[in-house]
Amino acid sequence: MRCLLPTILSLVMLSSCTTDSSSEVQPIPGSITYGGQPRTKLTKSPPGSAIYNSFYDSTGSRVKETYILQPDRSLKLVRRVIVPDFPSRGGS
């Protein structure tokens, strides 16, 4: 039984992994790549560089995105974080 439990846990964890390309972060309005790649190319930054973008979405939430510059100078959106809006702690 002791040997079986780690095997079962490993199978459960592996079954939740996916290699499907649909798990990629998709651009939303405000993203640099929303509507396609930008017209200007980043020529001074080396491929593999991280580019950061932040904006407010349609609900007023702050969004922070990370892009990686590809060898063909296109941008790949790799991460998006929505920053929670904390209520102000205004005193008296």
Report if residue 1 sits inside a domain: no
Report if residue 62 sits inside a domain: yes
Report if residue 70 sits inside a domain: yes
Domains in the chain: how many in total? 1
Report if residue 7 sits inside a domain: no
Residue 53 structural domain: 22-83
Report if residue 92 sits inside a domain: no
pTM attached to this predicted model:
0.67
Q: Which of 24, 37, 13 is nearest to 80 (CA)?
A: 24
Q: Which residues contact 62 (CB under 8 A, 6 or more apart)?
A: 54, 55, 56, 82, 83, 85
Report if residue 5 sits inside a domain: no
Cα–Cα dist 40/43, whole Å: 9
Report if residue 12 sits inside a domain: no
Do residues 32 and 76 touch, judged by C-beta distance below 8 A?
no
- What 8-state DSSP symbol labels residue 62? E
Q: What is the pLDDT along the chain (92 residues), one digit of tens a residue?
A: 566 666 665 655 555 555 555 689 999 999 999 999 998 888 899 999 999 999 999 999 999 999 999 999 999 999 999 998 777 666 55
